[in-house]
Amino acid sequence: MPIQNVSDTARWVAIYRAMETDRPDAIFKDPFARRLAGESGEEIVQNMKYGKQGAWAMIVRTAVMDEIIRQAIADGADTIVNLAAGLDARPWRMDLPSTLTWVDVDLPGILNHKTELMKGERTRCRYEAVTLDLRERAARKALFTRIGVGAKRVLVVAEGLLIYLEPEQVGELADDLSAVPTFKWWLIDLASPQLVEWMRGKWGDAAQKANAPFRFAPEESTAFFLPHGWKENQYRSSWEESRRLDRQMPNAWLWRTVGAVMGLFASREKKEKFKRFSGIVLLERA
C-alpha cells in the first residue's frame, strides 16, 4: 500500500509540486517539495494508478491558491491559518510580508515531520506550527478564538481537506470558523459529486484502505456554506484555470471535443454543473 493514512496524501501532492518546480517554465517554484515528500512520496506517485497523470489538477490548485493568497494579503489579511497544512511550504517559498502571521495546523506526525526537515530554513513571515487533530472540536474552537483575538483580518486556507470529511463535519467546521469575527475569508477546493465518483473509480480502493475515503461533494456547490455563515466570493474552475495556466490534463483536446458535442444537447443546468466539476473557491463572511 503506497498510501498508509490520510497524511500520506500530503507526500503525494508534494511530489506534484516538485515535478512542476523541475520544469523550465514552472508557474511556481517549491524548492522544498521533494525533500519534504521523501522517498515515500516518490513511491506513492510511482505506484498509484494514473499517478503522474493527475499532477495537472494539483499543480493548478497550488498556483491558483497562491494567487488568491497574494490578493487576500493585498486586501488586508494580516494572518493566514492553514488547516491540514501537510507539507505546504508557502511560508518558506512565497514572497510574504514579514509582518504577516502564518499558522500551520495539522496532526503531529506530518507537521512535526515538516518542521524537523525545515529546521534551519527561514520563513518569510512570522510562523507558528500547531499540532492538533481538527476533529477535536473543543480544541479547534479554542485555537480559532486565540488566533482571532490577536488578528484583524484572517484568511483561512483548507487545501485538500474538505473532500475527506463528512458533510456534517464540514458544516460544524464552517460554523466554528464563522463564529470568529476576524475570520474574513476561507479558501478551499471543492469537488462535485461527479468528480468524486470518478475519483472513487480511479483511487477509491487505495483511499479506503488508508482510511481516507473521498466524502464531501455537495450537490448544491457553494450554497452548502450559506447556512453556516459563508458565501461565495469567487469560484475558479480547475478546467478553465488549467487552460489559462497551460497545465491541462492529458488528452484535454479530446475532452474539449466531447464536451463541445455534448454541450449542443445539454440543458443550461447541466452546462452550469459541468463548469463546477472541480474548482478553487474563495468564501467570505455572509
The reported pLDDT for the residue numbered 35 is 97
pLDDT tier, 210 (very low <50, low <70, confident <90, very high otherwise): low
Rounded Cα distance between 125 and 127, Å, is: 6
Element (H, E) at 79: strand 79-83
Q: How do the domains of the chain map onto residue ranges?
A: 55-285
The reported pLDDT for the residue numbered 266 is 65
pLDDT tier, 280 (very low <50, low <70, confident <90, very high otherwise): very high
| Cα atoms found within 13 Å of the Cα of residue 21, Cβ hemisphere only | 16
- Render pLDDT for 116-150 as a digit per residue (tens, 0 to 9): 999 999 999 999 999 999 999 999 999 999 999 99
> Would strands 183-191 and 230-237 be described as parallel, antiparallel, or unpaired?
unpaired
In this predicted structure, which of 115-119, 262-266, 273-277, 281-285 has the lowest mean pLDDT?
262-266
Burial track 263-286 (b if 16+ CB lie within 10 A, e otherwise): eeeeeeeeeebbebebbbbbbebe
Chain-wide mean pLDDT for the chain? 91
Determine the topology of domain 55-285 in CATH.
Answer: Rossmann fold (3.40.50)
Higher pLDDT, 44 or 3: 44
Could you give phi then psi for residue 209, rounded to 5 degrees? Answer: -65, -25
The reported pLDDT for the residue numbered 45 is 87
- Asked whether residue 199 carries a pLDDT value surpassing 60, the answer given is yes
pLDDT, average across residues 93-111: 97
The reported pLDDT for the residue numbered 253 is 52
- The string of DSSP letters for 80-131 reads EEEET-TT--HHHHS---TT-EEEEEE-HHHHHHHHHHTTTPPPSSEEEEEE
The reported pLDDT for the residue numbered 262 is 61
Rounded Cα distance between 50 and 55, Å, is: 9
CB of 183 closer than 8 Å to CB of 154: yes
pLDDT, average across residues 181-197: 96
- Asked whether residue 245 carries a pLDDT value surpassing 70, the answer given is yes
CB of 16 closer than 8 Å to CB of 53: no
The reported pLDDT for the residue numbered 101 is 98
The reported pLDDT for the residue numbered 177 is 98
Taking the mean position of all CA atoms in its chain, how far away is CA 34? 18
pLDDT tier, 37 (very low <50, low <70, confident <90, very high otherwise): very high
The reported pLDDT for the residue numbered 260 is 59
Q: List the strands of the sheet with 278-285, edge to edge.
A: 126-131, 101-106, 79-83, 154-158, 183-191, 278-285, 230-237
- Render pLDDT for 48-99 as a digit per residue (tens, 0 to 9): 776 788 899 999 999 999 999 999 999 999 999 999 999 999 999 999 999 9
